[in-house]
Structure 1
Amino acid sequence: MHVLVNIDVPDLAAAEAFYTRAFDLRVSRRFGNAGVELLGGNAPVYLLEKPAGSTGAGIMPRDYARHWTPLHCDVVVDDLDAALARALDAGATAEGDVREYAWGRIVQLADPFGHGWCLLQFLGRGYDEIAT
C-alpha cells in the first residue's frame, strides 16, 4: 500500500508557504495553478486548491473554518518544542498544551485552513512502552 495525503485548501500559495515552513516540506511538482506536490515526509502531500463552498465527495460544501474529523495526520518529530515553534511561526494555532505520556509527547494544532494536526515526539521505546 502507498499512502498519499491530499489536503484541500482555499489558497494554494498560502498553503504552500505554510506547509513548507511549518513541516519543512519541499515542492516537488506543480499541477498548473490548482495543485502542488510536497515531499520531505514518508508520504507525499498534495495541496489542492478548492474554493470554499465547492462540493467534493458527498454533499457537504467545503468550509475552511476550524472543523473536526476523526481522521487526522500526526507529524512525528525529534524535537517537539522546536517543531511547535516552527509551526506556530508559520501560522498554526496550538490547541492546548503539550502533553506527556509514557510513549512520548504530543500537541494538537490547527493549520490556517481549519485542518487538525498533531505533533508527536516519541520517548523511550515509543508506542512499545504501552503495547500489550
Structure 2
Amino acid sequence: MATTKHSKQRDAIRNFLISRKDHPTAEVVYANVSKEFPNISLGTVYRNLSFLVDNGQAVKVPCDDGSVHFDGNVMPHYHFQCTECGAIIDLDFNDSKPEKALVSAASNQFDGIIEGSVSFFYGKCPKCSKKQK
C-alpha cells in the first residue's frame, strides 16, 4: 500500500471544509485557502479535494445546476438544495429511523446488498421562502 505524503495545503483545505456548513465549491475553497497559501493553484485544490473524497475525508455533493460542492461532514446525512438561491443545507434527523426505513423499503425491491443511501431534498430555503411572503 502506497503511503501518502503529508500536505499542509491538504490539511488547510480539509480544515476549511470542516469549518463550513454551506458546502463550498472548489472555487470558494480556493479563494479562501489561497489567503493562507498564496501560491496554491486551483488545480492543486481540485486534486486535494479529489484525494479527500477518495479517502473518505470529504463528500462530493453534485447539484442539479451542474455545480459540485464539497462537505467536510462525512457522517451519513441528507442535503437540501434551494431551487431559488442554490444554497445547500444539511438535514440532520434526530435518529436514524428515516434512513433505516428507506433502506429497508429499497432492500425489499432489490436482490443485492444496500449499504447506504444518498437523498437530496429540493425546494425553497427559509430565507427565500420568506422573500415570497
TM-score (norm 2): 0.23
Q: Which has the larger radius of gyration?
A: 2
Query: What TM-score do you get using the length of structure 1 for normalisation?
Result: 0.23
**Structure having the larger proportion of residues in strand:** 1
Q: Which protein is richer in helix relative to its size?
A: 2
